[in-house]
């Protein structure tokens, strides 16, 4: 149960539990992808079951859609929902301005579309994801398979003129084969170490033929919820310029802890 969770999972759970309290009856909710977002989906499913909460979820990957259905959340497409009240998702890195790197799970294209189609985006995370400058985590760039090596060469040529510390790139693999996104594309990971101007890089990367989308989320996140291993959470609101704190209690017997792998 809760006592058996690792410290990092306790932090993720605390952030997720705090975030789902933002959900109100009748909302249209973007459901993120990744290990932290999975905690959120389970917490939200618990509210749906126990409070008879009525909402619809728009998942950002097939695996999130599968989990949402398993826990009782009604799933629709973004075209069906039209517009969302809130999206809750994780991040691989966030900086003081709440700019993000996302895409470690390979879903950043759908995640960015869903997040920008929402009144607000809330990121749930733990303290290890906070950085002064983005770039230590490899930046994912989704590319079409046709001519991907040319696209990769163009990306590498571009990086020569960018304010970054590293310029190595690699094709993301699944075993010995290229990793395939839900949209049927490849991902080239950029090992940059430090990104001096994330806004500029995000803009110019998407001008390269063959690039579908990059994992830089600039001016998209409205709020970040940072979970601690002791259940303490810090809530930073970039629009209000506020920082708040809450305490999440770890109940020993919770539905959310059932059937976890």
The pair of three-digit structure tokens given for residue 52, joined into one six-digit string:
């008879």
The annotation status of 166 as a binding-site residue, yes or no, is: no
* Catalytic position from the list 46, 74, 93, 111: 111
The annotation status of 32 as a binding-site residue, yes or no, is: no
Residue corresponding to tokens 């759908």? 110
The annotation status of 92 as a binding-site residue, yes or no, is: yes
The annotation status of 36 as a binding-site residue, yes or no, is: yes
Closest CA to 192 of 141, 258, 238: 141
Phi, psi of 227 (to 5 degrees): -90, 145
The annotation status of 35 as a binding-site residue, yes or no, is: yes
Query: 144-151: long-range contacts at Cβ-Cβ below 8 A with a sequence spacing of 24 or more?
Result: 144/185, 144/186, 144/210, 144/212, 145/178, 145/184, 145/185, 145/186, 146/210, 147/210, 148/186, 148/188, 148/210, 150/210, 151/188, 151/208, 151/209, 151/210, 151/211
Question: What distance, in Å, lies between the first and last C-alpha atoms of the chain?
Answer: 12
The annotation status of 104 as a binding-site residue, yes or no, is: yes
Give yes or no: 111 in active site. Answer: yes
The annotation status of 10 as a binding-site residue, yes or no, is: no
Beta strands in the chain (DSSP E): 28-31, 56-59, 74-75, 86-89, 93-94, 100-101, 121-126, 139-143, 168-171, 173-174, 177-178, 186-191, 211-214, 216-217, 223-227, 232-237, 242-247
The annotation status of 33 as a binding-site residue, yes or no, is: yes
The annotation status of 181 as a binding-site residue, yes or no, is: no
Residues annotated catalytic, as ranges = 111
Residue numbering of the annotated binding site for substrate:
33-36, 89-92, 102-105, 129
Residue numbering of the annotated binding site:
33-36, 89-92, 102-105, 129
């Amino acid at each position: 149960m809760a006592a058996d969770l690792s410290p990092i999972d306790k932090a993720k759970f605390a952030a997720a539990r705090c975030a789902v309290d933002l959900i109100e009856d009748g909302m249209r909710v973007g459901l993120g992808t990744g290990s932290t977002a999975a905690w959120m989906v389970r917490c939200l499913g618990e509210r749906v079951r126990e409070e008879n909460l009525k909402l619809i979820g728009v998942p950002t990957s097939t695996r999130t859609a599968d989990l949402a259905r398993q826990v009782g959340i009604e799933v629709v497409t973004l075209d069906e929902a039209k517009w969302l009240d809130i999206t809750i998702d994780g991040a691989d890195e966030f900086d003081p301005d709440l700019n993000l790197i996302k895409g470690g799970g390979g879903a950043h294209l759908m995640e960015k579309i869903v997040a920008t189609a929402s009144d607000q985006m809330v990121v749930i995370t733990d303290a290890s994801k906070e950085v002064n400058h983005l770039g230590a985590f490899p930046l994912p760039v989704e590319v079409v398979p046709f001519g991907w090596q040319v696209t990769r060469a163009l990306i590498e040529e571009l990086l020569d003129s960018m304010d970054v510390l590293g310029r190595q790139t690699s094709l993301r693999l699944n075993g010995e084969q290229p990793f395939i996104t839900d949209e049927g594309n490849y991902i080239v990971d950029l090992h940059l170490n430090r990104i001096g101007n994330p806004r500029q890089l995000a803009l110019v990367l998407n001008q390269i033929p063959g690039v579908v989308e990059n994992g830089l989320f600039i001016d998209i996140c409205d709020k970040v919820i940072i979970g601690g291993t002791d259940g303490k959470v810090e809530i930073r609101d970039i629009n209000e310029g506020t920082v708040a704190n809450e305490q999440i209690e770890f109940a020993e017997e919770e539905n959310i802890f059932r059937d976890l792998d």
